[in-house]
Each structure stands twice: as structure tokens, then as C-alpha cells.
Amino acid sequence: MKKQFLLVCAITLSALGLPPVRPVLPPVEHLDTETVTNVPFTAYQPHLRHFIVKLAFNATPSNNVEMAFGTDGSTGTTGVLPVEDGELSPDECDLTVGWDCGAWFVEEGATGERVTAAPTGGCGAHELVVRVRLGRGGAIDDVRFLDNGAEVFSELAASKPPWLHASGWNRLRLVGRGENVRAGERFFAQVTPDGTSVRMR
């Protein structure tokens, strides 16, 4: 059974024949400045049954690192004509997952509802893994959240809300704010059949 993965990589082509996407986070001038990059990807194909996201970085009590998933060119909540411009606007973000000043969070775009979870072992080096198993047509069969291997967001894992994945997503938006989000940090991503890993280094 195949999976889909955005993987930290070098310069090799992916197994799907797509070139790696290796954007660099733009430099920030101040510690409280926001830096953003957008990456195209494919959230679902008929032969893929897993959607896996990994976010790894150094978490502090004051920084914010998050990934937003959505469809560039969708109408979002504004109802205006869709425009595909290579970036996810706030209205186009259906799901945001990340770290915000000492805690993990998962936020639904349509309602703004946010669920939070305390980190395993406090601040420091963390890797959040989101594993979504998909059924036919892209429906969610199962979901798990792991922080350095420990289960978090058990309520979302139990309820499996449908907004945790959408087959039409085509853009991933990475945002960094605060300490340890500085010039020279790199965000590597590549589409392969095995899942999604996002790393800042």
C-alpha cells in the first residue's frame, strides 16, 4: 500500500517524477517579524492511502511555527472569484497545524476553532507527526498525532473530523515567527509516495 510524503531531500527526483521543492525562508529583520513560504503539493491521488505530515524544529516558549493546508485559487470564505496566485491567503487555509508559544495547536480554517496540546517533555527539539489513513475517495479512516513519539490530540484522533484532510489541497504554507526563525533557515520538501516531512534547519 503506497503512501504520500513531502520528504526532506537533496536534489534527486521523487518517485512521482516531480522535482524537489527547496525554498528558503526569507530573512527576518526583527525577532517578532513573520517569515512565510508557500510550497505546491498534491494531497490525494487514487492509489495513495496515507497522508503523513512531520514538522521538526526547535520549539521555544516564544516562537511560532505553523503549516497551513488549503487550495490556492479556491473561493475561501469570501465568495469572490477564485484567483490562483501561488500563495495561500487566510481564506484559503482549511487546516493549520503547528506550535504557538509553548503549545501545539490544530485549527480548522472555516470556523477558527483551535485545539491545543501541551508538548511532551517541555520545549526543545520536537517532531510533530500527523498520520491520516485515507479510504476510497479520500475519506478519513484513521488519524493519529505524535509528539516525539507520544500520543497527543487524542480527542481529534477519536472524532476524526473531515476537515483534517481534503483531496483538493494543492498548497502548503509555512510560517515562522519569533526566536530561532532567522535568515538562513531552510525549509525542504519533496513529493514522494511515502508521506510528508517538513524540517527547518
How high does pLDDT run on average in the chain? Answer: 74
In a domain, 171, yes or no: yes
Domains: count for the chain: 1
Q: How many C-beta neighbours within 10 Å does residue 36 have?
A: 14
Count of beta carbons in the 10 Å neighbourhood of residue 189: 23
Could you tell me the CATH number of the domain that includes residue 11?
Answer: 2.60.120
Range of the domain at 123: 2-73+91-200
Is residue 154 domain-resident?
yes
User: Is residue 136, in this structure, part of any structural domain at all?
Assistant: yes
pLDDT score for 73: 82
Q: Is residue 80 part of a domain?
A: no
Q: Give the per-residue pLDDT at 37.
A: 81
H/E stretch holding 142 = strand 140-147
Q: pLDDT band at 97, cuts 50/70/90? A: very high
Structural domain includes residue 134: yes
170, pLDDT greater than 60: yes
**Cell 475519506, residue?**
139
End-to-end CA distance of the chain: 31
More confident: 157 or 27? 157
Q: Is residue 52 part of a domain?
A: yes
Assess if residue 108 is contained within a domain. yes
Assess if residue 152 is contained within a domain: yes
0.85 surpassed by pTM = no
